[in-house]
Structure 1
Amino acid sequence: MKIAVEQPYEDVMNALVAKGYEAKMFNTDEDVTGYDIGVVRAINEGNTHEFNFPVVTMKGMSVDDVVQAVEKKANLLQ
Structure 2
Amino acid sequence: MIKIAVEQPYEDVMTALQAKGYEAKMFNTDEDVKGYDIGVVRAINEGNTHEFDFPVVSMRGMSLEDAVDAVDQKARLMQ
TM-score range, shorter chain: over 0.9
Partner of 1:2: 3
Q: So what's the TM-score if we normalise by structure 2?
A: 0.97
Could you say what the CA RMSD is over the residues aligned between the two structures, in angstroms?
0.5
Which residue does 1:67 correspond to in 2? Answer: 68
Partner of 1:29: 30
Q: Would you say how many aligned residue pairs link Structure 1 and Structure 2? A: 78
Cα deviation, residue 43, structure 1: 1.3
Moved more, 19-28 or 42-51: 42-51
Percent identical among aligned pairs is 81
TM-score (ref. length: structure 1): 0.98
Give the equivalent residue in structure 1 for 2:18: 17
Which secondary structure does the structure 1 equivalent of 2:57 belong to?
strand
What is the CA distance between 1:33 and its match in structure 2? 0.4
**Where in structure 1 are there 5+ consecutive unaligned residues?**
none
Structure 1: how far apart are the matches of 2:62 and 2:37?
20
The one-letter code matched in structure 2 to 1:27 is N
Instruction: Write the distance in 2 (CA, Å) between the matches of 1:59 and 1:8.
Output: 13
